[in-house]
Amino acid sequence: MTDARSMEEYLALFPYTSAAARYVEVSTKTFESLLSVGEFSKRVLNKSVERVTRAISGDIHVPSVGNDDYEVEIFSYVMARALVSCINETLLVQRYANAEARDAYNNLRHADERSQDGYILSLLGDFRMPASIKKNAFQLYFADVIKYTGRLRGPQWRLVNLLYRGRVTLAKGEIIQILAEAVRLKVLTGLPLKLSGKMCEELSPYTSPLKKALSQVLLRQEESGPVVLEACPPCIKALLLQVKAGKNLSHPARFALTSFLANIGMKEDEIVLLYQMSPDFDYELTRYQVEHIKGSSGKDYIPPGCSTMETYGNCVESDGLCRRIAHPLSYYRLRIKRPDAGVKTSTG
């Protein structure tokens, strides 16, 4: 960053960096002062609640940061972490880390080219990943890259395609994906904070409505979803029954089910919760995979067709309608329009 304003903007956009932590540390502002009556404190607390609320709702819109909001943004991150820590719910911690990672991803993607390069290099330095730029591509050490690619999916992330003489050459979009994952892990491993009961009591006017919002989201997920079970093809019904029975699905089966549910409108969190009965359930990994399939990588995945389902052994005994279509989505859409189409099967 070349000037004070650029640095302040960088800290506001990426408040989990070491530079932002130093800024907060040398500031005269304290927890008590941020809870005191005053215009700045009010703006910080309102922004903190907004950050956590967006994490709860899964809102991916990132508000723009004005020149007069830089310090508010920095300290709102500090107080948002305090709010999340006082609520101390695993689901919220995970959601908050994911939300900060999505914001980082979007802030990097939407920055102008000059700022974008500066942000990327600064973040790489903050995460101790030295890099060089050659022809608009970034070269990093393999060991630095591998730490953040375990959850990324796609042929470009396979080890054989990454490694060349101990260094990895990545396009700017790929670097941004890695940095978003680095942000998620940093935020996640830093929560919850160890706060006193007194601090949490003082924050209770702000955490109470957040707790209510979180409980409402969980209740809506438990009560209903957009899936009309009777309209699902037999193969999807069979996979759903296996998941509910606590069985692990194969990778092709899991991809087929997740991409199908994503394409018919089921929300990310609802899909993630479906898998919680699986013996190998890992919330972080499952959510990451679901988000990727739903398009966080910039690509929306379509579930496999009937021939592919058959190839992988995921096609079960078909009904009359199955024999007239070639894709599970076609089955679902036709049954939504015409509930009596085909031969009815058990809903389990």
pLDDT in tens, 150-161: 666 566 666 666
Q: What is the mean pLDDT of residues 87-93?
A: 89
Q: Which of 66-70, 160-164, 255-259, 276-280 has the lowest mean pLDDT?
A: 160-164
With cut-offs at 50, 70 and 90, classify the pLDDT of residue 299. Answer: low
Please give the pLDDT value at position 201.
Answer: 96
Please give the pLDDT value at position 221.
Answer: 53
Radius of gyration of the chain (CA): 23
Of the candidates 60, 173, 193, 170, the one whose C-alpha atom is nearest the C-alpha of residue 111 is 173
Please give the pLDDT value at position 273.
Answer: 81
pLDDT at 298 over 60: no
Distance of alpha carbon 73 from its chain centroid, rounded?
A: 21
> CATH number for the 4-209 domain, one of 1.20.930, 1.10.3210, 3.40.1130, 3.90.70?
1.20.930
Q: What is the mean pLDDT of residues 192-205?
A: 95
Q: For the chain, which residues make up each domain, given as ranges?
A: 4-209, 229-337
Percent of the chain, pLDDT > 70? 83
pLDDT at 294 over 80: no
Please give the pLDDT value at position 342.
Answer: 56
Cα-based distances in Å from 3 to 7, 20, 66, 69, 117 = 6, 15, 17, 17, 15
Q: What is the mean pLDDT of residues 308-320?
A: 85
Q: Which residues contact 222 (CB under 8 A, 6 or more apart)?
A: none
Place of tokens 């190998």: 280
Q: What is the rounded CA–CA span in Å between residue 293 and residue 298?
A: 10
Place of tokens 């004005």: 66
Q: What is the mean pLDDT of residues 276-298?
A: 72
